[in-house]
Amino acid sequence: MRKLNMPLSDENVRSLNVGDPVALSGIMLTGRDAVHKWMIDTFIRKTREPAGDDMEVYEAIKPLLDGGAIYHCGPVVGGLDTGDYSFVAAGPTTSIREEPYQGEVMKHFNIKGVIGKGGMGPLTLAACKELPGLYLHAIGGAATLIAQSVTRVVGVYKMDFGVPEAIWVIEVKDFPVVVTMDAHGNSLHAGVEAESEATLKSILQLS
């Protein structure tokens, strides 16, 4: 398993290929549907004006995402009453919902790693090749195990989105992922889809 510290360099990213197991350490941010739409509408496509703490949050997260990773995760968080936060469960959520936004978000913030489950589509793959960047598959159904790699909750932004949709800034140690979309234009997900389609056609012809 390849051990890498964040932020990731272009050299780190280009040295990895589909199928490579990786253990990430350092700072990463969580972000799901509400976060991606907020980023796109407010700072990238600019279809809405910044309001409230938007600019403050933007200035805080921009350097953390530069060369960093965003994790599609709706965590279960302990210590909500006291502010002494800890991740109880931190499993990945399905990534394809962010496909309309992810490539633009990656380019704007120079995000090198997108973490989730289920894979993403051609827009994200193109961004991975251009930046360069990676899509990293986390283990579905292992939320409690993954939470053990979260050593510290550094902070949280946009709690008005709700706990699962907020931006959680976390420090991780040996966070386990597998490269399933690389910077060379390869996608394990596209390959599986093509093979599945070919197998289905073969079965239908036999029937």
Catalytic residue numbers, as ranges: 36
CB within 8 Å of 27: residues ≥ 6 apart:
6, 64, 68, 154, 169, 170, 171, 172
Phi, psi of 125 (to 5 degrees): -60, -40
Q: CA 189, CA 168: separation in Å to the nearest integer?
A: 27
Nearest alpha-carbon partner for 20 in 199, 204, 178: 178
- Which letter does DSSP use for residue 7 in this model? S
